[in-house]
Structure 1
Amino acid sequence: MSSAQSTVGRDSELALIGAFLERAGGGLTALLIEGEVGIGKSWLWRESVRAAEERGYRVLACQPTESEAGVGFAGLIDLLSSWVDDDPTDLPEPQRRALDAALMRRSTEAPVGQGAVAVALFSVLRLLARAAPTIVAIDDPHWLDVPTRQALGFALRRLEAEPIAVIITRRKDWRADALLEHVPVTRLAVSPLSLGATYQLVHARLGVTLARPALVRVHETSRGNPFFSLELARTWIDRGGVADVGHLPVPERLGDLLPRRLEDLPERTRRVLLLTAAMAGPSVGQLQEAMGRPVEHDVARAETAGVIDSSDGTVRFTHPLMAATVYDAATAAQRRMVHRELADVVQDPEERARHLSLSSLEPDEALAAALDDASARVARRGATDVAATFAERALEFTPLGEHDATFRRAMAAGVYALAAGDRSRARALFERAVADAPPGPGRAGALRWLAELSTPLGHGLALCDRALLDAGTDAAVASRIHRTKGAIAYFLGDVPAAEHHAGLGVELAERSGDDQALGMAIAELAHWTFCGGGGVRRDLFERAVALDGSAGASSPRSHLAKVVMDNDGHDEAREFLTLLLDETMETGDLYAASTHLFHLAELDVWAAEWLGAIRHARESLQLRQHLDQSGAPLYAEAMARACLGDVDEARSLAEAGLVEARRAEDVVFCMQNLHVLGFVELSLGNHEAARALLGEATDLMRPRWNREFGDCHMVPDEIEALVALGELARAEDLVGWMDEVARATQRAWTVATGARSRALVQAARNDLDGADASLERALTAHERLPMPLELGRTLLIRGIVQRRMKRRAVARETLGRALALFEGCGATLWAGRARSEIARLGVRSTAQVDLTPVERRIAALVAQGCTNGEIGAALSLSRKTVEANLSRSYRKLGVRSRAELVARMSVPRESTSTPGATRA
């Protein structure tokens, strides 16, 4: 239909589209065209694409269909079809290789990760947008294949500044599209046509003039829906054009109109339409080959009936409902026959496999073998979700009694499902493999996979024991099982057991001759040795990295970075992790990248860069969003928010993490989430609650993980709560333990916090001189420890001790230094405690009238007219935290309203300084 004929009643929608395109180009933005079926979304989408091209945008467009939803990267191929002839030359080689495989531009035997394609798409979109403003236009994204959807979602989350606009359509009964989750959206709700517009539409499209009674009946029945208005009018015409409203044929349901129109077409034409519905955008030539006879007459007849359109060389239905109606109208046997015929004529192996998978209900080894081949092919292209589907269908078609084939296909499908992030699906497939496998190394491998996926973790140990019995003398399989058992033991809190099994893993890997497996086994042994108090074994790590220099989540370099980090080598660890992150993002190993981001978030927490920690934690969570493993990033964000004083959000995150950790029997994350909750209570001065939470965490750690604290920092916090409650016996016992570990490891953190803890006990027993000496030793250790919050807490305690020693001037200076550190990093609750201690000296500190950096940022946003909700979103703070900071700012500045605050902030003030406010 012509543009002039179609603009009937759509002036307001077209105006909104024009306005959107005029202002797009300054950064990532989106237009969401939404409405009910048949309302005209697709036409408005096409008009948007046309208008964008007229304005000079580069347009990447695709219109996925239901038949294409199971084709790996079908949507991506459509989107980037124009880019194929305009290939940027500066795409990194790993990304170019991944994209070439996904787009089927060249075959590859080396497997490509789905994440690598996502990273490559991100790079391509950024390159194209920098050359020209770009539109990504998708009609019916509901039918996008999963690999394309995941890759596009990854890219859009990172394209904030580039001049890219996204235009998509959405039916009202579909959920808000996740592609736009982090994109500013302009919504275009497509409204029904008026009575007059319906009249013009029918006249323009069908060349008839409805009498008013018939027109009113059409409009009321269709509720102004243009698609159904035309269908009703066609029905009226087909029944002889009786104008009497009483004779206008109106079905009980509007959906009944489409089958009626198809019934009027000849059988051979309906056969062509069924083939079209079963194929992914066929050409007339492909339909002719499938039918084995000329089809031009049937295509023309269907076009005249308004069912299909072949004007661009591809035969497509005029509306998705048409395709669904044609396909659903056929019997199950007819559909299977069509897919069997298509499997014999299509050239692409993956499309042939899809048709084969839909062509039979009976076991068929030849069909299963073809699906095997297709799953391997699509996996090499990075579409692991589709590969898992093909592999599962191959499993379904495997004849009964073929146990070897059943086992092999169940294992392949499980590995693909796991690569796609579907852990529950993978677990079920590995269980199927175990059930069909005889005893031996093969079943041992399946049991090991199940052990890695087991919940609770204790069940994984039992599975490993079963696997070891099956592994027999196969050193490679047994080595991997021992390594898995060691990792599970670590998360269960049994470090000696982790060391033991890692050592066995090394011995067996040396016998197997697999250098990469040996490198990973040695790195794990070095890691668990550190956790057991054996220090940083650089010799082991150097050997491991020489054998395997990869950047994966479990690679030797990753283990080394974590150990260096836990041994207080923060700067070295940050360099390691940043490099590993860059490498894994370039190659598309998104799970590894998320692991490196999590460790960077931990480093940020310790360095008091808490907003950075939140950003890193959220990015880590985004990268693993298709996995059911969110605990680690959420824990890091929870601790950052606890340090910032955002207690409600910290509690919420940590409580959720604790529930999940208890369900999994994950002792490490139980300890860490208990630590967050206990630290929140300690920061608030709720010592009884803090002692209970922190004591539980310590009791989980101490029995078998007692020679190195690593990243488990809860013990000094528990000691502080115990001293506040007067429970000195347990406090002294824990201090003795910390002293013992500090002497053995000489770690700065253990020495500093252990000496501070001893000072607390000494001060509680009125040994103030001893406490002061212990605090002096702590401060010396702090010089090697880039952890401002820990330093501030040590200074706070020393200031209190000095006040009790009647050294008021020195105490004032020490407490001032503590306050400056707390305010400098935004530790609001601890800053409040420091101010209270300064107030007890009876001397007003000039720091009291200065705003903290967080308070200044909030005040500046208030001056810009931001609401509390907008301020919280900008600074990653809860609304309650924003309100609390504003209240403190009001008190400090002597104002009572936002208006007075803005006025006060606009008046230049002389700078003030706090004694000892320089960063220690």
Structure 2
Amino acid sequence: MARRSSKATASGRRRQGVGDTARGTLPDFQGREADIARIEKLIDHVRDGGTALLISGEAGIGKTTLLEIAQALARQRGFRVLRMSGVIAEAHLPFAALQQAVAPILRQAQKLPPRQRAALLAAFGLGDDTAAPDTFLVALATLTLLTESAARKPILLVADDIQWLDQPSHDVLSFISRRLSSDPIVLLMAVRNDSEEALPHWSVPRHQLSRLDTAAAERLLDAEAPDLPLDLRQRFLDVAAGNPLALVELPRGERRLETGGSHWVPLTDRLERAFFSRVSGLPTATRALLLIIAENDSRSLREVLDAGEVLLHEKVRLDALAPAVSAMLIEIAAGEVRFRHPLVRSAIHQASSPVMRHNIHAALARVIKDEPDRQIWHRMASAIGPDEALAAELDAAAARSQRRGALATAITALENAARLSGTALSRSERLLRAAELAAELGQPETVERLLRNADLDRPPLRVRAQVAWIREMSQPLTVSDLSRISALVGLAADARADGANDLALDLLWRAVQRCWWSNVGDAVRESILAAAGELGLPKTDARLIAIPAYAGPLKHGGDVYRELQAYPATGVADPMAARILGLTANTIGAFDFGVRWLTEASTALREQGRLGELARVLFSRSFAETETGDWMGALRSSAEAIRFGEETGHAIWVAAATIVQARLAAMRGNFEAAEAHAVQAERLVLSPGSSFWLAMLENARGIAALGAGRPAEAYEHLQRVHTPGDPAFNTSLQFYWLADYVEAVVSCGQEAAAASIIEEVERHSAPMAVPWVQMMLYHGKALLASPNRAEMFFQRGLGAAAQNWPFLRARLLLAYGGWLRRQRRIAEARVPLRTAREVFDALGASPWSERARQELRAAGEASRPRAELILDALTPQELHIAELAAGGLSNKEIGARLYLSHRTVGYHLHRIFPKLGITARAGLRTALDRATQAPDRPDRSSQRPSDRSGTTTSAR
């Protein structure tokens, strides 16, 4: 068929089963019936729960058209439609796209919690808060704003061309996309196929738009160009190959297609040619205005006309744009002007000369009055040669971006300020500051590029050390690299020599951490400790307390333990200091102290929205909670660490928290789940120099084998940590699992090896081991001792300090009861065996609980079957929500703590109630207390404060 009238085609479209009038007004959706149906289903089922969908496809495939159809359908159903669109020219404006979307509902921000409101307004440059908001706090504020609005009217949030969103808006959108399951919000996003690699942490469903089939392509071409000759019609069909934009736009350009080599020109290039062919015949003033539109980072029609007058030196009226509207290149509405397709913008941009672009940016800089950041960017684009005054203004713009939480924008501003700097020194200083921000964002490639450009051939010692610190902070800490350690120590000496003692301490602190993650010798560790002691800084500095612990957790553990005891219990002002103290406590085995400070750090980081740091702290806290007997707390913390680690791209903390879950599953007897977690973590950490993580994995597998009654297999796993040359060999962690290792070794009949490791740990921890280590030493000695000495070690191990380590204590009670029974002291044996059984039952340690029952049966006492814990039915997130609700927090407050919408919290509570056998919120506290109260545990609530994020650090 050569031709078909557009009227007939439109009629045919209406007969295709798509009866909505909104669809009839959208001209080019042939062949998209299935795609539209999928969108329509999401909209129609929004009351069942919100969702997000990422639509991908090549340029011109119809993504924008599909989004327009979705908006029309949503409006018909009473939705509020919010939209944002990425534009390359606006990518330097932080939160520009986000502000575009939420502007219609921004007045509702007054109802947000104060921290969220301040963060959101600061992000938009509307607040006076001087603290830089973290992107995730802005994201939480946006989510709260959306969900509050959606409670009155469902929302369709549309985001087109997300590959060109400014980075902060991109991050907020990614955050929101994962949290819509319980809210009447549909999020539709469109991205070009060749840009999906820029979405590494997006986990939303994808919908790929394919090219139109032959029949649909013919219908569309006939509707748009009904009078084409047969040969030209076929040529257009061949070149377009089912691309809807090509079918619509190519016929509007020149009716001549080149042959020969140009046949292989990419379709996007052909489309750009087609668009520009319609520009070349336009009046001079119209072409100039189109160039201004292409280079402007605003859609303001007034700005375009004013800049046109500056550029053309004559009065410019609106009708100068009429030819571009008639050529279907732009659209004008409500005082805004935009291109009909991004390819129009790129075609015009590429066709303009550098001189013309320079003049356009200069014109825009003159007409922009009330937005200093935008004006500066245009002045920068029109600058030639150094301009120190402009560089200083870019410096100030970078500071403003930093205060708004837009570090990527601040880096770009500082780079351009460096380019315009009047002196080499100011240029280098600005590039160093940009590199520091890039290190904070975890962008090592950007850091290296900025440092290379800083021209630091012969820097002062202080600057040399600063460069090294920046470079170090951009690199992963958890991979062994011994060469870095000596370099850091030398640079610390340089910094000290130049009077930069605080920087020197930072470098030494980093060096000793690398020692702990690696297998470096004692001499290097002690040299770092000695260098730190010569800096003359206050002894209360958390780094100075931490360095001895990392240099020798056994050798210096007793001294560090006393310092931690003397440190104020609460109120560490800096969350990073609290984090260091918590990690230090964990390093020496003072996990009860570790929980305290890691809880304090997590509370502050949660309030600030620093989810990347929070992921690490939550992993460390889950490790400490495992040892202190708060296993459900450990499950909760590790699950959050995994969630936040995935969202922030910190795979290493995802792996670490997954290992904690593997160990917890093993101790609870879920051996299949334990191995599944271990395999998942192994995929993330299996790389050269990752001995720390492999050591943790081997312990998780070892404790699983012990629980399953396979001591020989447990020995194989645990021995790897002690075998030089093995990838899992790690000197820093060997003492952590002393009790597990000794149990496995003794069960395999290798008492000499057990005695050797006990002697080594005891020698290194002299003169005083921390209580946790001392208890494990007594445990091991009791298993090896002769009958006339074993009881002394059992009783010493079960002293007052044992109350802090329920699982370890219960295992020692089990061993003691078994020993008493074998000594034919049957009645005495029942007491420790009963206590062990009760503690194991409360923890959910079913393999050990069953062994306690077996020992009791052998001692002549029957036991009731272990009751299933009510909390076994709750997921870690459900448990967290239940505890927060039981503490009196509202759904909104819980949502703010957990970075969820309040409707999601409500959804979880409705699932929690029947699992706990209750029908209302009022029953939560009683149900949780009944379900989680471990017997024979002291109340340590006064010793360890509750996490203001809602978790308690007691065993309950």
TM-score, shorter chain, exceeding 0.5: yes
Find the aligned partners of 1:792 and 1:272 in 2 and give their Cα distance. Answer: 80
Find the aligned partners of 2:487 and 2:392 in 1 and give their Cα distance. Answer: 31
- Native 8 Å contact 1:30 1:186 kept in 2: no
- Native 8 Å contact 1:802 1:808 kept in 2: yes
Find the aligned partners of 2:721 and 2:455 in 1 and give their Cα distance. Answer: 42
For 1:418-453, what per-residue CA distance to the aligned partner results, in whole angstroms no more than 9, with x for missing partners? 232324423553465582563243444333434545
Q: 18, 21, 25: which one pairs with 1:5?
A: 25
Find the aligned partners of 2:405 and 2:935 in 1 and give their Cα distance. Answer: 53
Match of 2:340 in 1: 318
Instruction: In structure 2, list runs of 5 or more residues that go unmatched.
Output: 1-9, 11-21, 517-521, 876-933, 938-956
Find the aligned partners of 1:832 and 1:333 in 2 and give their Cα distance. Answer: 82
- Native 8 Å contact 1:193 1:224 kept in 2: yes
Instruction: State whether structure 2 residue 312 is matched by structure 1 residue 290.
Output: no
Going from structure 1 to structure 2, the CA distance change for 1:637 and 1:176 (only over 3 Å counts) comes to: farther
Going from structure 1 to structure 2, the CA distance change for 1:33 and 1:487 (only over 3 Å counts) comes to: closer
Find the aligned partners of 2:850 and 2:451 in 1 and give their Cα distance. Answer: 55
2:745 alignment partner, SS class:
helix
2:431 alignment partner, SS class:
helix
Q: 794, 801, 819: which one pairs with 1:775?
A: 794
- Native 8 Å contact 1:153 1:179 kept in 2: no
Match of 1:62 in 2: 84
Find the aligned partners of 2:487 and 2:63 in 1 and give their Cα distance. Answer: 53
Find the aligned partners of 1:631 and 1:200 in 2 and give their Cα distance. Answer: 51
Match of 1:20 in 2: 42
Instruction: State whether structure 2 residue 749 is matched by structure 1 residue 731.
Output: no
The alignment's TM-score, normalised by the length of structure 2, stands at 0.73
The alignment's TM-score, normalised by the length of structure 1, stands at 0.76
Letter of the 2:394 counterpart? L
- Native 8 Å contact 1:526 1:536 kept in 2: no
2:212 alignment partner, SS class:
coil
Match of 1:134 in 2: 155
- Native 8 Å contact 1:486 1:501 kept in 2: no
- Native 8 Å contact 2:720 2:728 kept in 1: no
Find the aligned partners of 1:497 and 1:56 in 2 and give their Cα distance. Answer: 70
1:175 alignment partner, SS class:
helix
**Deviation, structure 1 residue 384:** 0.2
Match of 1:74 in 2: 96
Find the aligned partners of 2:538 and 2:452 in 1 and give their Cα distance. Answer: 26
Match of 2:604 in 1: 583
Instruction: State whether structure 2 residue 169 is matched by structure 1 residue 148.
Output: yes
Moved more, 82-91 or 252-261: 252-261
Find the aligned partners of 1:413 and 1:437 in 2 and give their Cα distance. Answer: 20
Find the aligned partners of 2:489 and 2:455 in 1 and give their Cα distance. Answer: 14
Moved more, 385-394 or 737-746: 737-746
Match of 1:901 in 2: none
**1:567-578 alignment to 2 at 5 Å?**
574=595, 577-578=598-599
Same amino acid, percent of matched pairs = 23
Find the aligned partners of 1:268 and 1:251 in 2 and give their Cα distance. Answer: 34
Instruction: In structure 1, list runs of 5 or more residues that go unmatched.
Output: 511-517, 859-916
2:689 alignment partner, SS class:
helix
**Deviation, structure 1 residue 277:** 1.8
**Deviation, structure 1 residue 80:** 1.8
**Deviation, structure 1 residue 784:** 0.8
For 1:445-488, what per-residue CA distance to the aligned partner results, in whole angstroms no more than 9, with x for missing partners? 3334345456765444444444445446665x213312430342
Match of 1:868 in 2: none
1:619 alignment partner, SS class:
helix
Letter of the 1:307 counterpart? L
Instruction: State whether structure 2 residue 558 is matched by structure 1 residue 533.
Output: yes
2:333 alignment partner, SS class:
coil
For 1:672-719, what per-residue CA distance to the aligned partner results, in whole angstroms no more than 9, with x for missing partners? 4554465456554315523532324999999997xxx9x952222232
Find the aligned partners of 2:787 and 2:23 in 1 and give their Cα distance. Answer: 88
Find the aligned partners of 1:826 and 1:661 in 2 and give their Cα distance. Answer: 36
For 1:367-421, what per-residue CA distance to the aligned partner results, in whole angstroms no more than 9, with x for missing partners? 544433332232222110111122223334446xx33113211211112212323
Match of 2:447 in 1: 426
- Native 8 Å contact 2:415 2:434 kept in 1: yes
Match of 1:787 in 2: 806
Find the aligned partners of 1:803 and 1:416 in 2 and give their Cα distance. Answer: 64
Aligned positions, number: 821
Going from structure 1 to structure 2, the CA distance change for 1:753 and 1:262 (only over 3 Å counts) comes to: same
Match of 2:515 in 1: 492
Instruction: State whether structure 2 residue 118 is matched by structure 1 residue 118.
Output: no
**Deviation, structure 1 residue 754:** 2.1
Instruction: State whether structure 2 residue 649 is matched by structure 1 residue 625.
Output: yes
Letter of the 2:720 counterpart? L
Match of 2:888 in 1: none
**Deviation, structure 1 residue 309:** 0.9
- Native 8 Å contact 2:89 2:295 kept in 1: yes
- Native 8 Å contact 1:527 1:560 kept in 2: no
- Native 8 Å contact 2:591 2:625 kept in 1: no
For 1:58-87, what per-residue CA distance to the aligned partner results, in whole angstroms no more than 9, with x for missing partners? 433101122222322221121221123333
Find the aligned partners of 1:261 and 1:624 in 2 and give their Cα distance. Answer: 40
Letter of the 1:486 counterpart? W
Find the aligned partners of 2:207 and 2:90 in 1 and give their Cα distance. Answer: 27
Instruction: State whether structure 2 residue 212 is matched by structure 1 residue 192.
Output: yes
Q: 386, 394, 397: which one pairs with 1:371?
A: 394
For 1:575-599, what per-residue CA distance to the aligned partner results, in whole angstroms no more than 9, with x for missing partners? 6544542332222233442333123
- Native 8 Å contact 1:451 1:463 kept in 2: no
- Native 8 Å contact 1:403 1:436 kept in 2: no
- Native 8 Å contact 1:671 1:698 kept in 2: no
Match of 1:301 in 2: 323
**Deviation, structure 1 residue 42:** 1.0
1:416 alignment partner, SS class:
helix
Q: 225, 232, 256: which one pairs with 2:243?
A: 225
- Native 8 Å contact 1:602 1:636 kept in 2: yes
Find the aligned partners of 1:177 and 1:201 in 2 and give their Cα distance. Answer: 34
2:797 alignment partner, SS class:
helix
Instruction: State whether structure 2 residue 747 is matched by structure 1 residue 720.
Output: no
Find the aligned partners of 2:740 and 2:688 in 1 and give their Cα distance. Answer: 21
Find the aligned partners of 1:325 and 1:28 in 2 and give their Cα distance. Answer: 38
Moved more, 611-620 or 495-504: 495-504
**Deviation, structure 1 residue 111:** 4.0
Q: 274, 278, 289: which one pairs with 1:272?
A: 289
Instruction: State whether structure 2 residue 698 is matched by structure 1 residue 695.
Output: no
Going from structure 1 to structure 2, the CA distance change for 1:773 and 1:107 (only over 3 Å counts) comes to: closer
- Native 8 Å contact 2:615 2:653 kept in 1: no
Going from structure 1 to structure 2, the CA distance change for 1:108 and 1:430 (only over 3 Å counts) comes to: farther
- Native 8 Å contact 2:491 2:507 kept in 1: no
Find the aligned partners of 1:158 and 1:49 in 2 and give their Cα distance. Answer: 21
Find the aligned partners of 1:372 and 1:65 in 2 and give their Cα distance. Answer: 24
1:759 alignment partner, SS class:
helix
**Deviation, structure 1 residue 849:** 10
Moved more, 793-802 or 820-829: 820-829
Find the aligned partners of 2:243 and 2:650 in 1 and give their Cα distance. Answer: 38
**1:396-795 alignment to 2 at 5 Å?**
396-398=419-421, 402-430=423-451, 433=454, 435-436=456-457, 438-453=459-474, 458-471=482-495, 475=499, 477-493=500-516, 496=526, 499-505=529-535, 507-508=536-537, 519-520=541-542, 524=546, 532-534=557-559, 535-537=561-563, 541-542=567-568, 549-551=573-575, 554-555=576-577, 557-562=578-583, 574=595, 577-606=598-627, 607=629, 608-609=631-632, 611-622=635-646, 624-625=648-649, 632-633=656-657, 635-643=659-667, 644-645=670-671, 646-652=673-679, 655=682, 662=689, 672=696, 675-676=699-700, 678-679=702-703, 684-685=710-711, 686-696=713-723, 713-736=736-759, 747-762=770-785, 767-768=786-787, 770-780=789-799, 784-788=803-807, 790-795=808-813
For 1:297-317, what per-residue CA distance to the aligned partner results, in whole angstroms no more than 9, with x for missing partners? 342111111111112432211
Find the aligned partners of 1:503 and 1:330 in 2 and give their Cα distance. Answer: 63
Going from structure 1 to structure 2, the CA distance change for 1:542 and 1:410 (only over 3 Å counts) comes to: same
Letter of the 1:96 counterpart? R
Find the aligned partners of 1:463 and 1:345 in 2 and give their Cα distance. Answer: 52
Find the aligned partners of 2:410 and 2:581 in 1 and give their Cα distance. Answer: 34
Match of 2:190 in 1: 169
1:378 alignment partner, SS class:
helix
1:6 alignment partner, SS class:
coil
**RMSD of equivalent CA atoms:** 4.7
- Native 8 Å contact 1:35 1:171 kept in 2: yes
